[in-house]
Amino acid sequence: MRSYEMLSTDTGLDRRLIMVAAVLVGVGGALGFAGLAIGSGAVLAAGRRWMRRNEVHPRDMAMQTWRQTREASRAGAQAWRAASPANAQGPA
């Protein structure tokens, strides 16, 4: 008796169905990988087009945003300190 026949008769598993399932999983994985590759390529191409169209280099834009964030943080901290109870004038 062959091993695949033993598998089919002893365990009740249909070898053909197991093989079909394995093939379908492989095909699904290949299709998923192809979709991932195509999607990644589209995102990269869009990013390159955006960088070419943009007047400001991304590094300069990041530095400008960082400076704005830093200044906003300082202003917020100063406003918080000015409003703290230690700086508030109580009844004389």
Question: What contacts 24+ positions apart, CB below 8 Å, involve 62-69?
Answer: none
Q: Which long-range contacts (CB under 8 A, 24 or more apart) does 70-74 make?
A: none
Task: Find tokens 């943080």 and name the residue.
Answer: 73
Predicted TM-score (pTM) of the model is 0.49
The pLDDT assigned to 33 comes to 98
Q: Which residue has the higher pLDDT, 92 or 52?
A: 52
pLDDT digits (tens, 9 = 90+) for 38-71: 999 999 999 999 888 888 888 899 999 999 999 9
- Please tell me the predicted confidence (pLDDT) of residue 36: 98
Q: How far apart are CA 74 and CA 11, in angstroms?
A: 72
Q: What is the pLDDT of residues 3-44, one digit of tens each?
A: 555 555 567 888 999 999 999 999 999 999 999 999 999 999
| Cα-based distances in Å from 65 to 37, 51, 61, 72 | 32, 17, 6, 10
C-alpha distances in Å from residue 24, one per residue of 4, 15, 18, 31, 32: 20, 14, 10, 10, 12
In this predicted model, what pLDDT tens digit does every residue of 67-89 receive, in sequence order?
999 999 999 999 999 888 776 56
